[in-house]
Structure 1
């Protein structure tokens, strides 16, 4: 298990002090800790490198009644321009422990790096989640998924600190309440702080899990359900993500984003029928919206399709916050944007899609001190 990493925001740091290995900064910029590069400062920023340090910081906040913001990779955060009046806790814990097909990741591990290591080890189950930014501890909260895989299919347990009982608990998969981009941890955001995540992967003799996503299968030249070499699956997914600006690149402002800004709407039978009628009214009698089964009596449609067909095409916008030039589902900071610039664009998109199709988009990133 590796130890000792203590990330520091780039540029001139504010006044700081070190308590053991815990680094504490005051009036600390948070924008450099997010992929949007937006948001004001935190009253205090604590960087913790062990589970014990994480728990101590959480207990300090709870005991003093101080608001707490937990930050992992910062890839799913929209922080207000005024910043955060409280303790921002940066998880910098490390740990990649592989025993056969069983994997345990510390919450602060870089997710994309961990996925690369599982592929190198010849293990299948998360290879199609390659290139997703952020930390391992965030993956169960959002039930991270892409290209036909979700972490809920491989997570066995989540080790977390329960702020209500003030104990460290181990929560099995069945009690995590996983669903599309949701979980028990997201439903109770002020209760659990994820410390470690445990996975059961598959030794498929160097092959991937069955390819589920049609776009991935087409790119690989195979049929859905086929297996391919793990490295080929990973490289294909990375290529698809890069083509949409979904792989972090400091030089590419299309990646100054939170990836998909909106979740794909899930509609019940009546809602989908009304939506389909609006589509035909607006786009013509032959038009059909994307539709995917999403459980009994429900259908999932595409947020990216809705945004595009409502008139918000790639590159839309004239200010410092615009839709990505590569993918309509990503809102981006072109440099010099504020959080309010971003939110103004998001609200415009939400209003436009609702007016066109009667569907209300929901933001995927977590908002801090602001809302749509």
Structure 2
């Protein structure tokens, strides 16, 4: 029997073989496979869309459970809102398109993000001024530690910038968190207009002021266009999209760091005496332009920063995970040397490290 290579199931198209591959066609299938792996103390990896994970070239020495069950439905309707439930394996962008078609606002700014619905709460996925935490009400999950099905509210998840208690439970060498998401509920607003636009670039594209709104379909269209211009919408023929998406999170640092940056540097308030900086800006101003690679180094030109956006490390067609990491390390160390600011990876690194 052919061993499945993880490169065939990740957006960066890197990663070695899985020792065992299980396709979960339902919640019951997923729980059964997870329990079996945990009972036998077999290393476990639960995989959704494979968009925010970097897999080692050696592969995974255990069981990989891929969430293959999908579905999106309205489970509760109010006068002006609806509670929408998405299965963990549901393609995220298809679900967002469905909500827009239903006239439900709240997720439209998250259009075009690759991956599955079940993965979105783990890192509180966000883009263009919106985050999953804005509309997420609760989720249903399998608690591996307690061996039971649980519901976790938005408050219990402690969602923050690219973080949650689910992500925090990864820790150590674990490839799968304590809680495995099975379905997610979002409270959306029934309106022909999108939620107020909170991102300057999107507002400019729409021709509105920040805080104003626009038709749902129009917002989705412009978000997809903006993402595509940065190589952030999957396209098999475009190597700029062969990536994990943004490789680094925007650093959150003490507010006094602002004084060490040149005038005009993008700085955003992050509360509690801290500010958030633009990782892409720091990378570019540290001398790493779009398309930066290591032609004479470890990556051998097989990997580079995207030619459209400095925040993505891309596979140019034949890269390995180590090639991608070589470019990422060069960028991380260069930014640290230039600015004294350490960048941290956004994707989950499985069997490898930065």
Q: Distance in 2 between matches of 1:108 and 1:245?
A: 24
Q: Distance in 2 between matches of 1:242 and 1:97?
A: 28
1:194-273 equivalent positions in 2, closer than 5 A: 194-204=181-191, 206-270=192-256, 272-273=257-258
- Paired position in structure 1 for 2:137: 156
TM-score by length of 2: 0.94
Q: Secondary structure at the match of 1:140?
A: coil
Matched, 1:370 2:346: no
Q: Secondary structure at the match of 1:39?
A: coil
Matched, 1:127 2:105: no
Instruction: Detail structure 1 runs of 4+ shifted over 6 Å in the superposition.
Output: none
1:159-178 equivalent positions in 2, closer than 5 A: 159-178=140-159
Q: Distance in 1 between matches of 2:187 and 2:255?
A: 36
Q: Secondary structure at the match of 2:74?
A: strand
Q: Which consecutive unaligned segments of at least 5 residues does structure 2 have?
A: 171-176, 296-300
Matched, 1:307 2:283: yes
Q: Secondary structure at the match of 2:29?
A: helix
- Paired position in structure 2 for 1:30: 6
- Paired position in structure 2 for 1:290: 266
- Paired position in structure 2 for 1:96: 72
Deviation for aligned residue 1:227: 1.2
Equivalenced residue count is: 337
Q: Secondary structure at the match of 1:112?
A: helix
- Paired position in structure 2 for 1:359: 341
Q: Distance in 1 between matches of 2:146 and 2:243?
A: 36
Deviation for aligned residue 1:91: 0.5
TM-score by length of 1: 0.89
Deviation for aligned residue 1:139: 0.2
1:26-81, CA deviations, whole angstroms, 9 ceiling, x for partnerless residues? 62211010000001001001010100000000000000000001100000010010
- Paired position in structure 2 for 1:53: 29
Deviation for aligned residue 1:97: 1.3
